[in-house]
Structures are given as C-alpha cells and as structure tokens.
C-alpha cells in the first residue's frame, strides 16, 4: 500500500481529445446497440447506469495517452469483485466485456484476487502498488496504451503494452499483454484496427460509481 499525494484534477492539454468535460455524453454511445449512452450526467460528473450497460466512445483510436478520474461512492457496499466494480477497456473489440480492461474497483480495504484488484490488467498483471484513496474521494488513472498490431492474415505482429499511473503512483510499467483480458481461460489476441474505449457497467449490486475529466492525446 502506498498513500498517494493530494488529489489534483489535471485538465486536458491543448491537443487533447476531450471525451467528457462534465457537460454531456456526446462522445459516448451504448455499447450494445449504439444508441445514446444512457448514463447519468449531473454536477459535472458521469455516473454508471447499470440498466443501460456498457458505454463506449463514438470515436475509435489506436495508440494514446489517457487521463480518467473515477470515484467509488463513500458508502459503497459489497466485497471482492462486487464492490464498486467497473473498468476501462483501452480497446473494445466486441460486445459485452470483449477487449483489454484495466480494473476499476474499490481496493481501499477490500480483499479480492490480486490480478483483479484496482489497477490490475484484469487477470493478467497485478499492480505494482495499491495507491487507492478511500471511497468518496476521486482517483486518477493516467494510462499509456500501445495497441497491438496484426499481419494481413490476422496473426499478431506486435503485442499491446500498457503503462499506468494511479494517483501519481506507477502501477503498470510497460507490461506486454498476453491478449484480451478474459474472466475465464487463456488470453488470446484477435485482430482489429481501430477501436473505441469502453467503460464497464458491472452486474454486481453495489452502488454505482462515477467518472469525470476524461481526455486523451493520440500518439503515433
Ligand atoms: Mg471490472
């Protein structure tokens, strides 16, 4: 456990693609049927609507630097994977939870499997530190995503890499992914070109979490 420094909300630089600035969900759609996103925007904050399901960006991306802030409700309930579970899919490669997920969860005082805690590359890489703030406080992820590339026949050319910083603390250092993040079974790559970013609406019954200040900078 590493106690992070004070919370600072870092706004977008001039060349950023702003995905959520507190005003509306124009950059997002429902993953299931591409209809309006259906999550709640109030007081500059975006909150999960579990009835609506996962949402994803209208735009698609390859490599980028992403900033996203998230908050577990102060009075969160549940335990393990059923306590504020959400997730950021750096590339959504299909319906449901298909793609590459960095976990969002309350890991302040909550035991679960190590490669399923907040900041894990789900079921692949344990975070290097637990830098969680307590429920009710804002958390920040700053993520570098290098997308996998594929040969014309669909085989893997170069793997995906992730570096991630949680509340100013390095938690993933250029890890080479084994494939998409899957709940059960061995990860595998599946060819794609550009992909949306997806936010998870997890089926557990705990109170819904929120996001704010989401932006990225596209990289070569
Ligand atoms: Mg999740």
Q: What is the pLDDT of residues 30-85, one digit of tens each?
A: 999 999 999 999 999 999 999 999 999 999 999 999 999 999 999 999 999 999 99
| Cα–Cα distances in angstroms (integers) from residue 139 to residues 44, 145, 168, in the given order | 16, 19, 10
Strands 169-176 and 40-42, by their bridges, are unpaired
Which pLDDT score is estimated for 89?
98
Spacing, Cα 84 to ligand 1 middle (Å)? 9
Residues having C-beta closer than 5 Å to ion ligand 1: 85, 87, 200
Neighbours of 220 (CB within 10 A): 4
> Which residue has 């969900």 as its token pair?
25
Which pLDDT score is estimated for 84?
98
Whether the predicted pLDDT of 7 surpasses 90: no
Strands (E), 93-190: 99-104, 138-146, 149-150, 156-158, 161-166, 169-176
Give pLDDT tens digits for 114-155.
Answer: 999 999 999 999 999 999 999 999 999 999 999 999 999 999
User: What percent of the chain lies above the pLDDT cut of 70?
Assistant: 100
3-state class percentages of the chain: helix first, strand second, coil last, to nearest 5: 5, 40, 60
Whether the predicted pLDDT of 13 surpasses 90: yes
Which pLDDT score is estimated for 8?
85
Spacing, Cα 205 to ligand 1 middle (Å)? 13
Distance in angstroms (rounded) separating the CA atoms of residues 38 and 53 = 8
End-to-end CA distance of the chain: 34
Return mean pLDDT, the chain. 97
Spacing, Cα 22 to ligand 1 middle (Å)? 23
Neighbours of 178 (CB within 10 A): 17
Which pLDDT score is estimated for 10?
87
Which pLDDT score is estimated for 73?
98
Spacing, Cα 9 to ligand 1 middle (Å)? 23
Spacing, Cα 101 to ligand 1 middle (Å)? 7
Which pLDDT score is estimated for 81?
98
- Is residue 165 within 8 A of residue 90, CB to CB? The reply is no
Spacing, Cα 105 to ligand 1 middle (Å)? 7
Whether the predicted pLDDT of 207 surpasses 90: yes
Neighbours of 120 (CB within 10 A): 25
Spacing, Cα 152 to ligand 1 middle (Å)? 32
> Tokens standing for 59?
């735009």
Decide: pTM greater than 0.85.
yes
């Amino acid at each position: 456990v590493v106690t992070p420094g004070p919370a600072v909300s870092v706004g977008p630089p001039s060349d950023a693609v702003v995905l959520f600035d507190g005003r509306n969900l124009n950059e997002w759609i429902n993953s299931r049927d591409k209809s309006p996103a259906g999550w709640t925007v109030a007081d500059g904050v975006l909150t999960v609507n579990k009835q609506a399901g996962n949402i994803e960006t209208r735009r698609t991306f390859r490599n980028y630097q992403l900033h996203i802030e998230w908050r577990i409700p102060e009075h969160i309930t549940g335990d393990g994977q059923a306590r504020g579970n959400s997730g950021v899919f750096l590339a959504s490669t299909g319906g449901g939870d298909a793609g590459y997920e960095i976990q969002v969860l309350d890991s302040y005082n909550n035991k679960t499997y190590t490669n399923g805690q907040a900041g894990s590359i789900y079921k692949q890489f344990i975070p290097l530190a637990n830098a969680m703030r307590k429920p009710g406080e804002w958390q920040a992820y700053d993520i570098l995503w290098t997308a996998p590339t594929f040969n014309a026949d669909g085989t893997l050319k170069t793997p995906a890499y992730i570096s991630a910083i949680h509340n100013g603390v390095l938690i993933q250092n250029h890890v080479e992914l084994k494939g998409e993040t899957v709940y059960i079974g061995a990860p595998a790559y599946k060819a794609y070109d550009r992909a949306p970013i997806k936010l998870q609406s997890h089926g557990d019954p705990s109170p819904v979490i929120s996001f704010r200040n989401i932006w990225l900078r596209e990289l070569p």
